Structure 1
Amino acid sequence: MEHKTRIKGNVHYVGVNDRTKHRFESMWPLPYGVSYNSYLIDDEMVALVDTVDICYFEVYLRKIKQVIGERPINYLIINHMEPDHSGSLRLIKQHYPDIVIVGNKQTFGMIEGFYGVTGEQYLVKDGDFLALGHHKLRFYMTPMVHWPETMMTFDETDGVLFSGDGFGCFGTIDGGFLDTKMNVDKYWDEMVRYYSNIVGKYGSPVQKALQKLGGLPISAICSTHGPVWTENIAKVIGIYDRLSRYDADEGVVIVYGSMYGNTEQMAEAIAEELSAQGIKNIVMHNVTKSHPSYIIADIFRYKGLIIGSPTYSNQIFPEVDAVLSKILLREVKGRYLGYFGSFAWAGAAVKRLAEFAEKSKFELIGDPVEMKMAMKELTYTQSENLARAMADRLKKDRKNNE
């Protein structure tokens, strides 16, 4: 059995799959499930890198024992304290009472706070070192990717980077865990969604981490979620680099709410004109049907954003408002913004969208469109003008990039 768990050298995969959870962090849909990855280095001294969600402890312990039998584990390296990774910590400590926990000074306060676990600790700082025998590990602090205690562990012997949630993605591991032994097509969109939903706000810390890791001869990326990356390393780092710079493709995301279909007709008119102007990537999200998780992912993917809302009880439509707060929370940068709204007797939606426009610091494109009651010729014209302004702005970038 043992060879099936081997990544390279003495490094083994001992992670588990969660195919039952509906929402990650109780918020984000998991159509393909999610994996909680843990790794075991079977050397003179045995090291376990991160643990798994406590629900899977029995399966997890069996996987560990398949590799090392009844030998003790000397070190538990904690790269990240979120409970989906640290959840089994107390039980591991019960099974391996002499285990030394390796972490930074932020880690240990959290270990005591979450699990009441104390005992022997090996405190590491940026660039510190731990020899296991054949394998030599070096630690890199990567704070706010995406918690304050996050760090990454680099095995200098085999070039394996244990990256915590960095370079993670949604989706279980179905069969093999190595990217060379599976069809990885489904993971690319799930990586964008994972990054934008979970890490999105922390572009600047991700950039700092990428610079810190830039010179390392990485032969495998072992994240806490998703496949072990070996032949796709450049692509994975490229996706994280691009998303953390808030760089985006040419295209427009139209996000709207509509109670009776009138606001939706404005969205349709805008989309039709964008297409007529040669913009091919147009994604439309009706907020009452599309989950915010997918809306946010598309906003990270495309440069243009046009938001529309009806007035509801003299406010913005609540589901649109919820998406706006999620965009602001992630501090997305560098998008082009247009907006439109409607009302029956007192207009509030467009005013509220103007407040969002100011807070977002996005580049405002065209004139906002406000409609009273239903579509008229003037509304069609104004909607088309807004679409043309957005198309022109995107085409200007197209020219500059040529």
Structure 2
Amino acid sequence: MAFKINDTITWVGKIDWELRNFHGEEYSTHKGSSYNSYLLRDEKTVLIDTVWQPFTKEFIANLKKEINLDEIDYIIANHSEVDHSGALPELMKEIPGTPIYCTKNGAKMLKAHYHEDWNFIEVKTGDTLEIGKNKLIFIEARMLHWPDSMFTYLTGDNILFSNDAFGQHFASEEMYNDKIDKGELFQEAIKYYANILTPFSPLVVKKIQEVLSFNLPVDMICPSHGVIWREVPIQIINRYVEWANNYQENQITIIYDTMWNATRRMAETIAEGIKDVNEDIVVKIYNSSKNDKNDIIAEVFKSKAILVGSSTINKGILSSTAAILEMMKGLEFKEKKAAAFGSYGWGGEGIKIITKQLEEGGFEIMKDGIKELWNPNRDALDRCRNYGNSIGEALKEKE
């Protein structure tokens, strides 16, 4: 499958309808994804990125339907990660001398992935490549989200090829943002940002400011996953600026795991207590062993505060709670509050463990945790409701 974006650019990528997990098993892709590769035809012909290795044969066969491979003058590798570079080894067997333009780190990492010394041309921010009527401008995007990442800008058509930035894991043959349900699109976009780019938020702001300082008009943004931004493309840039500035909504997310439903009852009663005194706040509750971890992380990203609960087991906490806390620690959320809760049978160490993990993850502990023995009775549930009341009061937005 290929389709023309305009007279210069043809999309030659792959829509992966069946993909359900990405980065191994670390990222859920409920709606599939796409690997976007772009063929530019000017006086020179340029291929920007390829596809994931399992689709190599299909990619090259389809590419041959579009063009004689010997006519490809240059290859741009905006990012070395294998979902974008996976078809390079087979493609380079067909056109072995073709120059590959990438960052210095890109060349280093492509060599490490494929153990081939291709014809690498290393570029840095501001370097250009004349391709005829138009030219390509390269912009390093280090740590967005790998050390080798870069953007490529096409003059004339005013298109930014942004690789992983501004993308989503979203499979659709309606390849433009104005043809997609906006609610679905932005939910996938914020999930993508929350799970992948959150640790690099300070760099996101700096890079966007740098790109905007070039005063380059942007009529379209073509990422390497998901749909193309052609209707008001600046909207996704504005969202990234918003998300990168310690984003939060008027929401609290309660995350728990439970053995015999005692901690579940605590979670639900605390939630009721919050809503008793703070009707405006959105409260969402997730069992971390039954809900998708990446969907939970997206909700944490949107929240001003979180509560994390677990039963105590073997002087520790339940495995799904430990896993989600480890994920949050790595994502380095900023300016978010947190507290711990949970049931116990004898030791009750779980609350201290959760609190310590939250502190190490950068959360501000807003209140000592609450723990209840065994299955909470009416008095225990009253304490949970009062605990929720105090959380709700503390999170009231100022008039």
When normalised by structure 2's length, the TM-score is 0.94
Q: Partner amino acid for 2:139? A: Y
Q: Partner amino acid for 1:325? A: E
- Please tell me whether residue 167 in structure 1 is matched to residue 162 in structure 2: no
Displacement of 1:182: 4.2
Displacement of 1:69: 4.3
Alpha-carbon spacing, 1:253–1:18, altered in 2? closer, same or farther (3 Å): same
Displacement of 1:70: 5.4
Q: Secondary structure at the match of 2:143?
A: coil
- Please tell me whether residue 389 in structure 1 is matched to residue 390 in structure 2: yes
Deviations 1:205-242 (A, max 9, x none): 22222111224311111101000111142332233222
Q: Does the 8 Å CA contact 1:251/1:280 hold for their aligned counterparts?
A: yes
- 1:25 aligns with 23
Q: Partner amino acid for 2:150? A: M
Q: Does the 8 Å CA contact 2:157/2:219 hold for their aligned counterparts?
A: yes
Alpha-carbon spacing, 1:8–1:386, altered in 2? closer, same or farther (3 Å): farther
Q: Does the 8 Å CA contact 1:171/1:190 hold for their aligned counterparts?
A: yes
Report matched runs for 1:220-231 at 5 Å: 220-231=220-231
Q: Does the 8 Å CA contact 1:366/1:385 hold for their aligned counterparts?
A: no
| Partner Cα distance (2:62, 2:239) in 1 | 31
Alpha-carbon spacing, 1:355–1:70, altered in 2? closer, same or farther (3 Å): closer
Report matched runs for 1:26-175 at 5 Å: 26=24, 27-69=26-68, 72-173=71-172, 175=173
Q: Partner amino acid for 1:80? A: H
| Partner Cα distance (2:257, 2:232) in 1 | 39
Deviations 1:359-389 (A, max 9, x none): 1332222332111112134432332233223
Q: Does the 8 Å CA contact 2:135/2:155 hold for their aligned counterparts?
A: yes
- Please tell me whether residue 201 in structure 1 is matched to residue 202 in structure 2: no
- Please tell me whether residue 327 in structure 1 is matched to residue 328 in structure 2: yes
Structure 1's unaligned 5+ residue stretches are none
* Two-structure CA RMSD over aligned residues (Å): 1.8
Q: Secondary structure at the match of 1:187?
A: helix
Deviations 1:79-117 (A, max 9, x none): 111000010111111122231100111111112111122
Segment of structure 1 superposing worse, 305-314 or 118-127 = 118-127
| Partner Cα distance (2:368, 2:69) in 1 | 70
Structure 2's unaligned 5+ residue stretches are none
Aligned residues: 395
| Partner Cα distance (2:196, 2:45) in 1 | 31
| Partner Cα distance (1:393, 1:140) in 2 | 44
| Partner Cα distance (1:125, 1:291) in 2 | 39
When normalised by structure 1's length, the TM-score is 0.93
| Partner Cα distance (2:390, 2:176) in 1 | 46
Deviations 1:193-214 (A, max 9, x none): 1222222222122222211122
Displacement of 1:123: 1.6
Q: Does the 8 Å CA contact 1:74/1:98 hold for their aligned counterparts?
A: no
Deviations 1:140-161 (A, max 9, x none): 1110001000011111221100
| Partner Cα distance (2:174, 2:189) in 1 | 18
Q: Secondary structure at the match of 1:357?
A: helix
Displacement of 1:6: 2.0
- Please tell me whether residue 178 in structure 1 is matched to residue 176 in structure 2: yes
Displacement of 1:46: 0.6
Q: Partner amino acid for 1:346? A: G
Provide the identity percentage: 29
Q: Does the 8 Å CA contact 1:304/1:390 hold for their aligned counterparts?
A: no
| Partner Cα distance (1:301, 1:291) in 2 | 16
Q: Does the 8 Å CA contact 2:141/2:150 hold for their aligned counterparts?
A: yes
